[in-house]
Amino acid sequence: MNQERAVLIVSCRPENRKTLARVFDELSISTYVVPTIRDAKEVLVSQSLSLVFCEERVSDGSYCDLLASVRATSPETRFVVMLCTGEWEEYFQAMRLGAQEVLRCPLQPTDIDLVLIQAMKRNQKRDELTNQQEPMTWAHYPMPRLLG
The distance from CA 82 to its chain's CA centroid, rounded to whole angstroms, is 10
User: How does strand 30-34 pair with strand 57-58?
Assistant: unpaired
User: What CA–CA distance (Å, rounded) separates 19 from 109?
Assistant: 7
Burial 69-108 (b: 16+ CB within 10 A, else e): ebeeebeebbbbbbbbeeeeebbebbeeeebbbbbebebe
pLDDT of residue 101: 94
Successive 10-residue mean pLDDT values, the chain, 148 residues = 76 95 87 97 94 96 96 93 88 93 94 89 79 56 48
Half-sphere exposure of 112 (CA within 13 A, CB side): 23
pLDDT of residue 2: 44
Domains, the chain, ordered by start: 6-129 (3.40.50.2300)
pLDDT of residue 104: 94
Burial 43-58 (b: 16+ CB within 10 A, else e): bbeeeebbbbbbbbbb
pLDDT of residue 61: 95
pLDDT of residue 31: 93
> Which 3 state secondary structure label does DSSP give 144?
coil
Q: H-type helices in 2-148, by residue range?
A: 14-25, 37-46, 63-73, 88-97, 109-131
